[in-house]
Amino acid sequence: MKRITNLFLTAGLFVAAAGFVFTSCTKEGPQGTAGTNGKNGVDANETCKQCHAPSMVDRVAVEFQMSKHSYGVAEFEEAGNGACTSCHSEKGFIYVCQNNVPATFSLVNGKYVNNYTPDAANQFGAIGCWTCHSSLHTTYGIADLAFTTTSPVSMTMYAGLKEINIPSDSGVGNLCAKCHQPRPVTCGYDPAGRVLNYDSLVSHPDVVAYDSALGNGNHGVKPSYRLGVHYGTVGAIFAGVGGIELAPPGGVSYSNSKHTTVAACPDCHMASPMTGIAGGHSFSVRNSKETPLTSSTTFNFNGCNADSTCHAKEPITATSTYWATKRAGVKLLLDQLADKINGLGMGHNILHADATSANLWAGITTGNWDGYLDFYDASANPTGYWKLTSTPKFPTLTNAQLGAIINFQLCLREYSLGIHNNSYTTALLTNSIKSLP
């Protein structure tokens, strides 16, 4: 979709343009700048006003107050917390972008560690204007709105072996996907810390991934409450990459919805004008912050319906087929897959449920699953049921069953019930269901 393209250039391109100096430009506010080398000074007021105007920065700053990037608190919780800060802090994010920090793993003292980490001096900072527009106040011109990155994203889930690329709108979706990407599932047993070989889950579906009888004698994956891909699954699902592409007999083939190539995240998440608290720099499609997510609510569909190449002819509404029916279809598949996964527990659910607002996905499934496993964990899940070495012992899992659990997390935690990429979501869920007994 076509958007204001003069802004869609990455930061690096503009560094060279910062040739003029604003010696008298202080933080107190817009002032003129001294002339240098006999040339006239630049009227700072004029360039400042390209951004410092009621319709620009002033408006955006208020919209941004409604964004979880702004009101969320994860940046405080995770400050100084190593790898977490590449996505949960401004300085960390800019560091991994500007230094091209790889998503690879290295073997250090017998354990694999993720290299996708900013250095210790850059592990804090709230997500704000400078996080995404990191060239602000370098040339003091409009070009400073350039994005921190628009490059294809080397996936940390795959230790850099796969890439998310959202080509539309000059790659602005890659800015979002750099943070909104799944994290790696790593081995708890020897070789500890190594990324799971996801390919083997597909190529050897019947091989045992975790043997209940062996307990701590296993190799590879160690089941736990947090086993899984973390929260940012949208980037991968949207781009149609990174799911465990199980291929059971009679399964469906993998493909992507049109969104993958013709839309980028801001098209729907930064729609204009705002509807209540949705659109613009709120980054929200939903005009509500209540839970459960599926309770009656309104949305900002201005982005979906703005363009004749998108849905202008048959506008999306909360009751249109392309919303209500599609979402109901994916919800049914999520519910069915949850039932199958829980069936592996033979009497007790495998998945952890939480109907409170602590579950970011409350209401998306009938069972209010949050994608965690109902494992005993002294701090995170003290009432959890399953254990590794004492009873009740977590059951044996085959590769296909582990793959299906990962796919359930990917498809639940993309939040939109398939709107991001209906074809890919439907294929992952359908084939996962068919792969389980």
Residues 175-214 within binding reach of ligand HEC (CB under 6 A)? 175-181, 183
**Is the CB of 46 or the CB of 211 nearer to ligand HEC?**
46
The answer to whether 114 and 184 are in contact (CB under 8 A) is yes
Q: For ligand HEC, give the closer residue by CB, 178 or 352.
A: 178
Calpha distance 242→157 (Å, rounded): 8
CB-closest chain residue to ligand HEC? 72
Among 267, 370, 428, 436, binds ligand HEC (CB under 6 A): 267
Going by C-alpha positions, the residue among 88, 233, 238 that lies closest to residue 173 is 238
Are residues 234 and 414 in contact, defined by beta-carbon separation less than 8 angstroms? yes
Stretch of 216-224, 246-254, 284-292, 338-346 lying at the interface with ligand HEC (CB under 6 A) = 284-292
Residues 224-243 that bind ligand HEC (CB under 6 A): 230-232, 234-235, 238
Could you tell me the smallest distance in angstroms from the CB atom of residue 436 to ligand HEC? 27
Residue linked to tokens 């607002």 = 357
Least distance CB 271 / ligand HEC (angstroms): 8
Own/partner contacts of 287-294, CB < 8 Å, gap of 24 or more, are: 291/356, 291/357, 291/359, 291/362, 291/363, 292/355, 292/362, 292/363, 292/364, 292/368, 293/361, 293/362, 293/363, 293/364, 293/415, 294/331, 294/363, 294/364
- Applying CB under 6 A, among 69, 326, 340, 352 the residue interacting with ligand HEC is 69
**Of the candidates 421, 358, 427, which has an alpha carbon nearest to the alpha carbon of residue 164?**
421
Tell me which of 144, 245, 370, 374 binds ligand HEC, using CB under 6 A.
Answer: 144
Do the Cβ atoms of 278 and 285 come closer than 8 Å? yes
| Under 8 Å between Cβ of 431 and 257 | no
Structure tokens at 278: 């949705």
Burial class (CB in 10 A: 0-12, 13-18, 19+), 154: buried
* Nearer to ligand HEC among residue 87 and residue 397 (C-beta): 87
CA–CA dist 153, 161 (Å, integer): 11
Instruction: Rank residues 87 and 330 by Cβ distance to ligand HEC and give the closer one.
Output: 87
Of 96, 193, 202, 259, which one interacts with ligand HEC (CB under 6 A)? 259
| Residue 74 lies near ligand HEC (rule: CB under 6 A) | yes
CB of 198 closer than 8 Å to CB of 347: no
Among 118, 198, 286, 352, binds ligand HEC (CB under 6 A): 286
Please state, in angstroms and rounded to a whole number, the distance separating the CA atoms of residues 1 and 228.
33
Can you tell me the distance from the alpha carbon of 77 to that of 353, in angstroms, rounded to the nearest whole number? 24
Residues in contact with 167: Cβ distance below 8 Å, sequence separation at least 6, in sequence order: 261
Q: Tell me which stretch binds ligand HEC (CB under 6 A): 74-82, 211-219, 335-343, 347-355.
A: 74-82
When asked if residue 133 is in the footprint of ligand HEC (CB under 6 A), the reply is yes
Work out which of 10, 66, 86, 245 binds ligand HEC, going by CB under 6 A.
Answer: 86
Closest-CA residue to 333 (of 250, 234, 253, 408):
408
Kindly state the smallest distance separating residue 401's Cβ from ligand HEC, in Å.
Answer: 25
Does position 126 interact with ligand HEC (CB under 6 A)? The reply is no
Between residues 199 and 290, which has the closer beta carbon with respect to ligand HEC? 290
Q: Which of 35, 72, 343, 392 binds ligand HEC (CB under 6 A)?
A: 72
Out of 11, 66, 96, 129, the residue judged to bind ligand HEC by CB under 6 A: 129
Cα gap 376→386, rounded to integer Å: 6
Q: Which parts of 413-432 interact with ligand HEC (CB under 6 A)? A: 415-416, 419-420
Map the footprint of ligand HEC across residues 31-50, applying CB under 6 A: 44, 47-48, 50
Closest approach, Cβ 388 to ligand HEC, in A, equals: 21
Q: Please give the backbone phi and psi of residue 429, each rounded to the nearest 5 degrees, phi first.
A: -70, -45
Pick 3 or 340: Cβ nearer ligand HEC: 3
**Residue 300 binds to ligand HEC (criterion: CB under 6 A):** no
Site for ligand HEC in 331-360 (CB under 6 A): 360
Is the distance from CB of 241 to CB of 163 less than 8 angstroms? Answer: yes
**Residue from 19, 27, 250, 308 binding ligand HEC (CB under 6 A):** 27
Name the region of 163 (left: φ>0; alpha: ψ -120 to 50; beta: rest): beta
91 counts as binding ligand HEC under rule CB under 6 A: no
- Near ligand HEC by CB under 6 A: residue from 13, 15, 61, 380: 61
